[in-house]
Structures are given as structure tokens and as C-alpha cells.
Structure 1
Amino acid sequence: MNKPKYFLYARKSTEDDDRQVMSIEAQLFELREYARKENLEILEEFQESKSAKTPGREIFGEMMSKIERGGDFGILAWHPDRLARNSIDGGRVIYAVDTRKAVSLRFPTFWFEPTPQGLFMLQVAFGQSKYYSDNLAENIKRGIRQKLRRGEWLNLAPFGYQNNPLKHNIESHPTEARIVRLAFEEYAKGSYGYESLAQFLADLGVVSKNGTPLAKISIKRLLTH
């Protein structure tokens, strides 16, 4: 068999499941150094900023399509969880090894060889990655449900309120709340519509981030919170 040429794959998403993973730039540096020390020839580099929890990553799919067309290709990645955190993509990698489309997988942080034991350990690694993602998602949902049961506000406080970091809730803002109350009273009297109320608030210093009067949707949100 000819010496394989490697596709280097680096991935990081901005989601919680990847918060502790090194940056793409750091992965590229470490993988290039690993390839140099191990005398591995890198044919092409693929990098992707996207979660691997669900199938459909374009760059990953492009790399796998090249491998599946045949050739003495291998994959170099930091860890199996960079390749997949879902069963479909994980199965695609394993099948490529099974059918000798991918002739080698190399990871600086994970042992692998294309033997029954190696494939089993790879399946375990992919399964652990999927379990971690699923468990994290469920914990986040559970936390949100618990906050809702306690009546806690989930996001930044709207205008007229302020977040209380100690009580994990929101409370009236001493200055903004008076402005909101005044705006509501004027609107309730029929003195102003949305557009004229936006100008009324602008005269009081309440404007958008761009310094312009608030949009209609912002006025409606302010009156209903």
C-alpha cells in the first residue's frame, strides 16, 4: 500500500459543547506540528466553524466525499469529537474505514488503528461525544424550565428594568421605570401613537443604538413588558 496522504480537519463551534476546545488556529498549529514529527504528508486542510451535533456540515461533507471517491487518503484531526458528535457522521467515518476508503485516522489525543478493537474504541469515542452533546442540551433545557418555574427572567432586562445578579431576577430601574410609566400613561390617554411616542421618548433621551427614535416594534415591546 502506498503511504497515505492526509486531509487535516479542524473544527470549533461557538456553542456550549465546544467552549473548552482549543481554537481552530491552535488546532492547526498542533496538527501541523504532529504531522511534521510523525512524517505525515498533509494533502489538504479543512477548517469549519460549526457544531457537529447534527449532520449537514458542508466542509466535513466535502472532505468525506473526496475520501469516498477512493484513494490512499487518511484523516488527521485533534480528537474524534472534531469529526462527529452525531451518529450519522460518526457512522460515515467508521464505514469509510471499514471499506478502506479512509486508510488511516490519526489523532494526537486518541489512539486508533484500523482493527476490530480500534473501530470499537472509535465507536465508543463517537458515542461519548454524542452523549455529552445530548446531556448538555438536556441540562440547559432543564435549567431554563427551572428558571421559568421560579419566575426568573432568562435574558437581559428590558428597558425599565435591571438584572439583579444576586437574586437572579429583574427589578424596576429607578430612572427608566418612571419613563416607561410616563410613556404608558400618555399612550393610554390616546395622546400619542407609536411614531409620535417614539419622538416623545427621543426627546427624553431614549433612542436606539444608532441614536434614532425607537422603531414601532420597540415601542410596542416597551409598552407590553
Structure 2
Amino acid sequence: MRNVIIYVRVSTEDQKEHGYSLDSQRELLILYAKKQGWNVLRVFEDDFSAWKGFDRPGYNLLKEYISNNKKSIDGLIFTQWSRFSRETTEALVEIRRLRKLGIEPNAIEQWIDFSIPENMYMLAIYITAPQVENDRLSQRTKAGNRQALKQGRWLWKAPFGYTNNRITKLIEVVEEEAELIRSCYQMMASGLYNAEEVRRKYSEDGMRLSKQAFLDMLQNPVYIGKIKVPAFKDEPEQLVAGQHIPIVGSELFEDVQLVLNGKKKPYRGLTQNSSLPLVGHLYCPLCEGRMTGSASRGNGGIYHYYHCQRKYGCKNQIKAEIANDAFLEQMKSIQPDPEVLELYHLILQDVFDRNSSKNEDEKKALQKEIEKIDSIIDSAINKNLSGVFDDETFIRLKERLEAQKSTSLSRLKTLKSMKSEFQIYINYSTSLLANIGGYYQSSSVETKKKIIGSIYPDKIYFTNNSYRTTRINEVVDLIVNGSKDLKQKSLAKNARLSSLAPPSGLEPETL
């Protein structure tokens, strides 16, 4: 009998209360294991974000259990790959580690047959699609927030002196606190006191602000009815009229800025992360150490460099502009041919179609099971009304049946959504691969780092204006380097590669 352990995870309170809860995942996995005739050894759970890697409380316990019982464990199952991880590089490393121990990790709703190399395409989609979608959602959210700022709306928790109105979504003046703020500004504008003296005086009157929060208050244009819109791409930083009522006048505010002139927070570090996306991935070809990054002023500007850590003795440094431009060209050079992407799409479509007929059978069976449960509930209601079942027995029976029905409905919903989800995965993956250079160029620094780590999981070296690495991501390598052979053949002939999809009987009843 196959021995498996179960892993369930949610990431937010809202997900626990309204979404795919721990209980529903656990019930679904146990039911699936029972149908397969597998023995469930343990169940581990996490209420923790997958973006923080595998250092999660529940998963750490799971790893400890595996370490002590690895010879008796055959598999690790979860509902979807997003429950396992949302970070591509770490997921692939962990999958490799588990499989070396003889333990196969798999998602019952997105099953992967690891014995077939082409199925790595599907695995890459399952793991990277949530990551790409999250980045796109982040971009849309940032765009929406920026537009709201331009309209003069304060988007965060109200600063001292204001309160959030949950109905109008605006901030409103708290007059008692506003009087303290006006007094602080007037005292600072006199030039007779420093900021700390003013802060201490008014802290006794109820203004409980830290040193930094007090300085921020004295320099925040929100108090003169303005909203600061940060610089973005070609748009400079700007101040726009807010939709809220100001607490102090513009003239008083400017007087305080003059007093504070020269006492503002210093510019903290010249390093701009957006100019150094390769930090953490780039290694020195001379000392083999990981290179860091920083910036320096000169000739009227700020110039960024990748360099070794001086304390270890190596003084090698590279101009970030040169290294970044060369890496962008490197990204553009790994783009596959359009014919290969089309073939890639056809292979995945064929794999999905082969599983669709089995999914249809399961949907019909689930629908019948739901109807049968409804019939049993109706019968139980009649027996309760006629006195055959007492209330306690009826309630217990109804709860058990409703739980079974909920599980079946959840599974049915998943099966019905598979086709649309599959198309989303395909569109994202092919779009990303078709223009990886352009997507990299327009992404935030966080997304750039994810792309670099996904494609180049090992060390990257920059020498003689070109890059080299010890290993490229297996899936990307297969698509890009495989194109040299595949593009010589017609798509019609290569469509037969879909015959390498999991044969009937090897894959579970899900995709």
C-alpha cells in the first residue's frame, strides 16, 4: 500500500473564512487518498504565505517528519501546486530534493507524471502562472492607486490629526489633534526650538509620536491639503490638491521647512535597487564571491556599480549600466521561435484534451452523487417529521450529508473551471516566453529578480561583456535549445509528441 502525507495551506484570514479553507482541503485530500487505496500517515497544515519560501511552521514540521521517516513515505499530496509554493526556483529545488528521497510531491487537481519529460512544461505553468498573475495584479493595483493619488485621495491609515471615513473613503479632521498640530508648527516656525524640544512639550499634551513620526508630520504636505504623487517612469514627483481639509496654511508650512533646512533626514544610501536587479545573482569571476551593489556621486550624477565586498580583499567592480544592458540582450537572445511556441501550445492542449473525457465522466458521477445526497436529506426530513428520527439523530445525519455534498460540489466546481484555467495558464506562459526580454525590461525590480532566479537558478558571471552560468532552468532550456531540432520539422509531424502524455491509468482523475 502506498504511504502518503498530506499538506494543506492557506495564506490569509479571508481565505480561511471565505475561500479554500484548511478543512475543505484536508477533507478533499483524505477522500482522494481513500479512493486511491493509499494510507495517510500524517496531515500537516500552514496558515502562511507561500511567497516567503518553504520556511513555514507547518512545512518545517513536515520536513522534520520526513527526515525521521523517509523510508516509509512514498508521496506528498496537496490540492494545487499554488498550495505547495508560489516561487518557481524554490519549488523546483524542493521538488528535486523530495524526489531524491524517493518521495513524489504532487497536486491532486493538477497531477504531474514525472516519468514523462514533456510534463515539465505543465509543471512550469502551474508554478509560474500564480507568480505572473500576482505581478500583473500588483501592477494593476499600483496603477489604480496612482490614479487615486492624482485625484487627491489619501489611501492609507489617516495620519495624526485626521481619521478615515469608511463611507466617503476620505480623511476628515480631528479638531482636538489638529489644534496640537497647529501649535507645533507655530512653535517650530519661531526658530527658537528644535524638533525634539517641540515633540517632548506636546507629547505631554497627548501627541504620542516617535521622533521620526514627528519629523514626518512636520514635512508632510497632507497637512496643507496636498497629496504627494511619487515619481514614476517618465512622470516627475508632483503635489496635487487633496480632497480633504488642510490643517495648517501653506505659508506656515514653508516657514517650518526653512527652519528644518539642513536638519532633514540624510539621503540614506545612494544605491537604487531598481538600478541593480542582478544583486543576489551575480558572482565575481575573480574571487567567486557574490557581488553586491552600490552607487557613487560624480560629474553631477549618481552612478551604480556591481562590486565585490571590499572587506574580503577583492576590488573588482562592474558598471551597472553596462551589465544591465548586456543582461537585457541575453534575455532577448533566449526567446524561442514562434513555431516552437505554437508546438508547445499544441502539446499541452493535447495533454489536456486526453484528460478531458475522464473529467467529464467524473463530473457526471459527482452530479449523480449530489442528487443522491439531496434525495437522502429529503427522506431524512420526512422521517424526522414522522418521528422515525429524533432531532439529534437528524441533525447529525444532515451535517454529515451536507459535508459530503460540499466536498462533491467543490470538486465539481474545480472540474468545471479547469478548461478556463488551463487557457489562462497557456496564455500567460506563451505570452511570457514569446517576449521574455520585453517583459523583463518593463517589470519592477522585484519581478526582474524573480525572472532571473527562475531562468538562472545557479551563479551568473559577467566577463568580457557577456554572461555565463553553470545551469539554465530545465524547462526553458528544453524549449529554447530544443527549438533548433524542432523547427526543422512540421508542426503536424511534431504534434505526435503529445502521445507522450500520461497514458490512461497512470494519471489521477484530475488534470
User: TM-score over 0.5 for the alignment?
Assistant: yes
Quickly say closer, same or farther: Cα 1:146–1:15, change in 2 above 3 A: farther
Paired residue type of 2:80: H
Which structure has the bigger radius of gyration? Answer: 2
Range with greater deviation from structure 2 (139-148 or 42-51): 139-148
CA distance in 1, matches of 2:188, 2:52: 47
Is 1:197 the counterpart of 2:198? The answer is: no
Paired residue type of 1:23: S
Is the CA contact (8 Å cut-off) linking 1:53 and 1:85 kept in structure 2?
A: yes
Q: How does 1:1-225 map to 2 (within 5 A)?
A: 3-14=1-12, 21-53=19-51, 55-58=53-56, 59-60=58-59, 63=62, 66=66, 72-92=73-93, 94-95=95-96, 101-103=102-104, 105-107=106-108, 109-116=109-116, 118-163=119-164, 169-170=170-171, 172-189=173-190, 190=192, 193-199=198-204, 201-202=205-206, 214-225=209-220
Please report how far the alpha carbon of residue 76 of structure 1 lies from its aligned counterpart in structure 2 after TM superposition.
1.5
Is the CA contact (8 Å cut-off) linking 2:74 and 2:103 kept in structure 1?
A: yes
String of CA shifts for 1:166-221, please: whole Å, max 9, x gaps.
7755454455433421343245445863222211x23xxx6xxxxxx555455444
Percent identity reads 23
Quickly say closer, same or farther: Cα 1:163–1:62, change in 2 above 3 A: closer
CA distance in 2, matches of 1:80, 1:158: 41
Range with greater deviation from structure 2 (190-199 or 155-164): 190-199
TM-score normalized with structure 1 length: 0.68
Please list every run of 5 or more consecutive structure 1 residues that lacks an aligned counterpart in the other structure: 207-212
CA distance in 2, matches of 1:17, 1:144: 23
Is the CA contact (8 Å cut-off) linking 2:15 and 2:21 kept in structure 1?
A: no
Quickly say closer, same or farther: Cα 1:94–1:216, change in 2 above 3 A: closer
CA distance in 2, matches of 1:35, 1:110: 15
Q: Secondary structure at the match of 1:45?
A: strand
Paired residue type of 1:88: T
Quickly say closer, same or farther: Cα 1:193–1:183, change in 2 above 3 A: closer
Please report how far the alpha carbon of residue 86 of structure 1 lies from its aligned counterpart in structure 2 after TM superposition.
1.7
String of CA shifts for 1:44-86, please: whole Å, max 9, x gaps.
332223322353424546646838x666421121211101212
Paired residue type of 1:138: Q
String of CA shifts for 1:102-157, please: whole Å, max 9, x gaps.
346352x3344445265543332113222222223333333344444445323111
CA distance in 2, matches of 1:141, 1:39: 48
Quickly say closer, same or farther: Cα 1:115–1:158, change in 2 above 3 A: same
Structure with the largest fraction of helix:
2
Question: RMSD over aligned Cα, in angstroms?
Answer: 4.0
Paired residue type of 2:110: F
Quickly say closer, same or farther: Cα 1:97–1:222, change in 2 above 3 A: closer
CA distance in 1, matches of 2:52, 2:74: 25
Match of 1:209 in 2: none
Please list every run of 5 or more consecutive structure 2 residues that lacks an aligned counterpart in the other structure: 221-511
Paired residue type of 1:87: T
Quickly say closer, same or farther: Cα 1:103–1:160, change in 2 above 3 A: closer
